[in-house]
């Protein structure tokens, strides 16, 4: 990973009290991308296929894939390098400390694609109020957040979080590929490795898009939500198996 010029690595243990803000914070456009284009993050980017796919589809935007697992991220970094993409970077770090890597209002959009629903602990969910507070520190006012998920649990939880905190919801569908709404074209344009697996198993993809309006306080959902059960099945599972 250290051989790639498009990869930045810094774990939580390296962010010492005396160095809470990374040198790239506030300087992604001038020091790396060398343009003033919008910056879009993909959180939990895994193999980086969505980050790279978005960069190819939208050359007028800059994309940064973020994940802690370098072995998977390597594939995306390599593809971006071989493709000569100048609007792609990868940041290997803990998402919990994301506000240390970007200045206020430096980010325009965030994509959250097929993250672990973290059904046992709310503060680990990437759509929780815990993370909304962190995103607000770096995303411009009214910036966009996108969620694509196969998880009914995470979808239900996120809908409740958005309702409680009065975030403006721009798109909401429980079956992305069956929904013919024109505004969903971009959300359908790319599919991740895991997304294809869920679709092959007959599972529907949920999609939400909302604006991150500035807030001073948040209300965390407390409703009981039925846990996903299908994740315990093997790859041969499909919805018709039940």
| Residue 116 annotated to the active site | yes
Q: Which of 116, 175, 186, 200 is catalytic?
A: 116
* Strand boundaries in 71-222, DSSP class E: 88-92, 107-113, 139-149, 169-173, 206-212
pTM above 0.85, yes or no: yes
Q: What is the pLDDT of residues 38-72, one digit of tens each?
A: 999 999 999 999 999 999 999 999 999 999 988 88
Phi, psi dihedrals of residue 171, rounded to the nearest 5°: -140, 140
Q: Confirm if 98 and 110 have CB atoms less than 8 A apart.
A: no
Contacts of 185 (CB under 8 A, 6+ apart): none
99 vs 66: CA distance, rounded Å: 12
Q: What is the pLDDT of residues 90-113, one digit of tens each?
A: 999 999 999 999 999 999 999 999
Report percent pLDDT > 90 for the chain.
81
Asked if residue 186 has pLDDT above 70, the reply is yes
Query: Residue 216 has what DSSP assignment?
Result: S
């Amino acid at each position: 990973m250290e051989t790639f010029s498009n990869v930045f690595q810094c774990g939580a243990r390296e962010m010492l009290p005396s160095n809470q803000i990374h040198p790239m914070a506030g300087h992604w456009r001038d020091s790396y991308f060398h343009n003033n284009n919008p910056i879009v993050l993909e959180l939990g980017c895994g193999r980086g296929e969505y980050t790279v796919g978005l960069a190819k589809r939208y050359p007028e935007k800059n994309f940064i894939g973020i994940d802690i697992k370098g072995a998977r991220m390597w594939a995306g970094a390599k593809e971006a390098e071989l493709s000569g993409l100048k609007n792609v970077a990868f940041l290997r770090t803990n998402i919990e400390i994301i506000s240390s890597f970007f200045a206020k209002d430096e980010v325009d959009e965030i994509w959250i694609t097929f993250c672990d629903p973290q059904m046992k602990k709310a503060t680990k969910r990437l759509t929780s109020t815990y993370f909304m507070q962190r995103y607000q520190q770096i995303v411009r006012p009214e910036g966009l957040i996108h969620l694509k998920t196969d998880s009914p649990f995470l979808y239900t939880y996120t809908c409740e979080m958005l309702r409680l905190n009065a975030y403006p919801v721009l798109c909401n569908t429980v079956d992305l590929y069956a929904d013919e709404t024109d505004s969903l074209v971009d959300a359908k344009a790319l599919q991740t490795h895991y997304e294809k697996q869920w679709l092959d198993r007959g599972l529907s993809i949920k999609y939400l898009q909302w604006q991150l309006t500035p807030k001073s306080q948040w209300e965390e959902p407390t409703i009981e939500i039925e846990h996903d059960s299908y994740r315990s099945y093997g790859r041969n599972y499909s919805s018709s198996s039940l």
